[in-house]
Amino acid sequence: MNDSETTRRREDILRAAVRQRLLDPEDALLAGFIDLDGVAASVASLHHAFPSSVTVLHTFAAKANSLVPVLAELRALGMGCEVASPGELAQALAAGFAPERIVFDSPAKTTAELTHALDLGIAVNADNFQELERIDALLANRPTPSASRLGVRVNPQVGTGSIAAMSTATATSKFGIPLRDEGNEERLLRLYRERPYLTQVHVHAGSQGVPLELIAQAVARAVAFADAVNATAGRRQVTGIDIGGGLPVNFGGDTVTPTYDEYVGQLRRHAPGLFTGGYAITTEFGRSLLAKNGFIAAYVEYTKSAGGRPIAITHAGAQVATRTVFAPASWPLRVTAHDATGAAKDGPATAQDIAGPCCFAGDVLAHGCEVPLLEPGDLVAVLDTGAYYFSTPFQYNSLPEPAVHGARGGGDGTEPVFETLRTAQTVADILARTTTPTGPSTEAAVPAG
């Protein structure tokens, strides 16, 4: 879709949500929306970008949106799943992913977690030398071999992007075995030769703020290491390379840039050996598949002015946009203004702060946002939030998790069809989560209904 079609699609979803009372100024003050048709298009573009001459398993990074219905949708579109915790693994299995299409990455896997993954036949990427020793012991004590594909995450130490916290191939990153530290590459080559079960190499340079060229250089370093393993082992031991994900997202507009085609172009330039057919490829994209296919909608409760600056107090803040509130320079978001029907507001653009409901001064989604002047009862749409935002809520002030709805179809005079991907959390749910079983009764504290 072009930019105007994207804008129209988003407004169609918003207006239909108001008509169907998925948004309501009394009962549904805040909700997340995912355009499931857009997700399907993003997945198709990812699959299309990689040549059919190589074997590729595209996995979705569950941390980007771990709602089980979303994961199930991605599974139906041909994706596998990358997980980094017992919770994410349970969610992936509940979504129906076959164990052989799941990859388990974490820098802190416990013995119990590793045992569970090996029992199921889930692929595991070891993060460090000590974890390799733990895997050795587990494999030695197994009555039968594990079907798991096993490998090591290497840190190519290629540098830092514009957001340090998102850069994982730095000289001192906490992830993986740093190849450029003295003696590490030689030690790791020896460990591979001694462990024929190590058939994979894993690398991930980072995500938002990391340029494509740096990502591709990291992949090239992993390919070179895999080639070295096979050469020194005298056999084709490494058969697969997990190149991670990390395609950055354009948060400044509706245009999708960079694209998966551009990403693959950089891989061809820097790591041509990846496409010779000698290695099966695994990817782990997350944000780039979902971010631009989702938005948050929230009502404006009050408006005021302070120091000459208009302020709109909305129901969307740090509880659903944590990164933006705490690191606005790195994670800016676009906000659009709508009337109570969901239609785009008319009027001159006026600089105003779009603030949230949390009880601290920094709970502001956008400073000086240039949109038509907001009024109580209006709606704001917080764009590009399909990944990490409403699916990873922050429990500040015990604010409830909002409902999340998926939308399909619509257009040509028909409304989008919605399905609930997560029900809204209630006050009773919050009390149940924060009250011990032996604590005082909460019946009187919970409003009826």
Name the token pair of 69: 């219905």
pLDDT of residue 436: 82
Give SS3 for 302: strand
Low-confidence ranges of the chain (pLDDT < 70): 439-449
Distance CA 7, CA 13 (A): 10
Q: Which residues pair with 285 in a beta bridge?
A: 60
Alpha helices in 249-382 (DSSP H): 260-270, 287-290, 322-326
Q: What is the domain-level CATH number for residue 166?
A: 3.20.20.10
- Identity at 96, one-letter amino acid code: G
For residue 338, give every residue at least 6 positions away whose Cβ sits within 8 Å of its Cβ, in sequence order, or none.
Answer: 11, 14, 297, 344, 345, 378, 379, 380, 381
Contact present, 166 and 209 (Cβ < 8 Å): yes
Does some domain include residue 97?
yes
Domain span at residue 112? 37-291
Cβ burial, residue 43 (10 Å; 0-12/13-18/19+): buried
Does some domain include residue 442?
no
Q: Is 266 found in the same domain as 129?
A: yes
Q: Is 277 found in the same domain as 132?
A: yes
Structural domain ending residue among the three candidates 269, 291, 313: 291
Does some domain include residue 91?
yes
> Nearest CA to 418 among 15, 95, 40?
15
Distance CA 423, CA 192 (A): 47
Q: Is 343 found in the same domain as 275?
A: no
Q: Which residue do the tokens 């998966």 mark? A: 260
93: enclosing H helix or E strand = helix 86-94
Does some domain include residue 354?
yes
pLDDT of residue 413: 84
Q: Is 139 found in the same domain as 245?
A: yes
HSE-CB of 288 using CA atoms within 13 angstroms:
28
Q: Is 245 found in the same domain as 337?
A: no
Distance CA 246, CA 241 (A): 15
Q: What is the pLDDT of residues 217-254, one digit of tens each?
A: 999 999 999 999 999 999 999 999 999 999 999 999 99
Does some domain include residue 440?
no
Q: Is 77 found in the same domain as 11?
A: no
Q: Is 247 found in the same domain as 133?
A: yes
Query: How many domains is the chain built from?
Result: 2
Q: Is 207 found in the same domain as 72?
A: yes
Q: Is 299 found in the same domain as 394?
A: yes
Structural domain ending residue among the three candidates 291, 319, 354: 291
Does some domain include residue 251?
yes
Distance CA 189, CA 233 (A): 9
Exposed e or buried b per residue across 412-430, where buried means at least 16 C-beta atoms within 10 angstroms of its C-beta = eeebbebeebbebbeeeeb
pLDDT of residue 72: 98
Q: Is 172 found in the same domain as 211?
A: yes
Q: Is 300 found in the same domain as 205?
A: no
Q: What is the pLDDT of residues 417-439, one digit of tens each?
A: 999 999 999 999 999 999 987 75
pLDDT of residue 440: 56
Does some domain include residue 193?
yes
Does some domain include residue 448?
no
Sign of CA dihedral 153, 159, 161, 163: positive
Q: What is the domain-level CATH number for residue 345?
A: 2.40.37.10
Name the token pair of 344: 């785009």
Contact present, 225 and 271 (Cβ < 8 Å): no
Q: Is 287 found in the same domain as 365?
A: no
Structural domain ending residue among the three candidates 268, 291, 314: 291
